[in-house]
Structure 1
Amino acid sequence: MANIMLTKDQWDALQRHLLPNPFKVEEAAFLFVKVTESGDFECVDSWCMQPHDFDYQSAFHISLRDETKAAVIKRAHDTGTALVEAHSHLGKWPAEFSRSDLCGFDSFVPHVRWRLKGKPYAAIVLTTADYDGFAWIGDATDPVRIDGLVIGDVDRLGPTGLTPLTWGPWEDFDGHI
């Protein structure tokens, strides 16, 4: 398993973007990360999604434009970095990926990993209280839980671990919540 490592300034900026006040719609960002020898994801840059980057954005669901996804993947390819997606959920519930999130992983993660020549991929979902997170590492098609978010030199935040590591089938799910 792996940690996602951010400086305090990177973490503060990510939280400000994903959890603004007032908090009315889900927000998203991508972290461009260097994968360390120990398998940790070390943030070197970020891209905070803006309203024009979305096909759809509401309090309960987001969908990025195809052009946005292509631009994010190209930037990661050009910089030799892996990606960590980060998005927020509204409400006072503990952080957990939604069925819509999981459905999106099934198509997006294999595509990104193929485009980035097998680089690992991670995803985190933040609420105002906590977060949950997965990573796809090596040849595995199923995710593992990330160990934690390491903020600066001292703070380590553990995930809720509420999202099941396996999911499906989708025949009765239309991809929208």
Structure 2
Amino acid sequence: MTAISIDPNIWSIVSRHLLQTRSEKEQAAFLFGQYEADLSTIQVIDHQLMTDRDFASQSGDYLELQDTTRAHLIKRAHMQRACLIEVHSHPGSHRAAFSTFDFLGLQETVPHMQWRLRGQPYVAIVVAGNTFDALVWTVAARHPTALHAINAGERALSPTNLSVERWKGIKNDSF
């Protein structure tokens, strides 16, 4: 199983950005990671917080990036020889899990990102309240696997893992 290792200060910055108390809109950030050949650990080396201008659409239950934003993220990851880790929020205090909108978006996004980044793994994380869920796509994987943990310094944070089995039930010929 894969774990993400991240500087606790960066995780704190990203978490505060995603869980803005005065916003009822979903928020997003991207992490750039280097991984070991066996994909047991992805080390976060950089991050980028998304702002309102980075989105084509942004609401309480849906996000869509501008094409220029997506192109910029791909170029940045390519230049750093990094994989992309998308992180977005679901407003509210419920346990984190990917929504139907998320699944539909990931069915389109993951193959495109892996193609553009020449087979790099791709990770998607959703945070809600004080919980998160995550899905990991290895190279040419038909279905994602669960993330083991996010290691932020001495803290090992565990995902809810509510979404990985639900994904397996989705019929998808694009993977």
Structure 2 residues without counterparts, runs of 5 or longer = none
Query: How do residues 37-116 of structure 1 correspond to structure 2 at under 5 angstroms?
Result: 37-39=37-39, 40-116=41-117
Q: Which deviates further from its counterpart, 36-45 or 90-99?
A: 36-45
Distance 2:34 2:12 in 1: 20
Query: How do residues 11-22 of structure 1 correspond to structure 2 at under 5 angstroms?
Result: 11-22=11-22
Alignment pair present for 1:130 and 2:131: yes
| Mapped contact 2:6–2:151 kept (Cα < 8 A) | yes
Cα RMSD (Å) of the superposition?
1.3
Give the aligned partner of residue 167 of structure 2: 165
Offset of residue 159 of structure 1? 0.7
Offset of residue 60 of structure 1? 1.2
Q: TM-score, normalised by structure 1?
A: 0.91
Offset of residue 94 of structure 1? 0.6
Query: Could you list the per-position Cα deviations for residues 111-151 of structure 1 after superposition, in whole angstroms to 9, with x for gaps in the alignment?
Result: 10011111111010001120000100132121000001111
| Mapped contact 1:134–1:145 kept (Cα < 8 A) | yes
Offset of residue 90 of structure 1? 0.9
Query: Percent same amino acid at aligned positions?
Result: 36
Query: Could you list the per-position Cα deviations for residues 16-50 of structure 1 after superposition, in whole angstroms to 9, with x for gaps in the alignment?
Result: 11011223210001001011244211110001001
Where do 4+ consecutive residues of structure 1 move more than 2 Å?
A: 167-170
Give the aligned partner of residue 7 of structure 2: 7
Distance 2:138 2:152 in 1: 22
Count, aligned residues: 169
Change (3 A) 1:9 1:100: same
Give the aligned partner of residue 173 of structure 1: none
Distance 1:52 1:150 in 2: 30
Give the aligned partner of residue 25 of structure 2: 25
| Mapped contact 1:5–1:41 kept (Cα < 8 A) | yes
Give the aligned partner of residue 155 of structure 1: 155
Offset of residue 59 of structure 1? 1.1
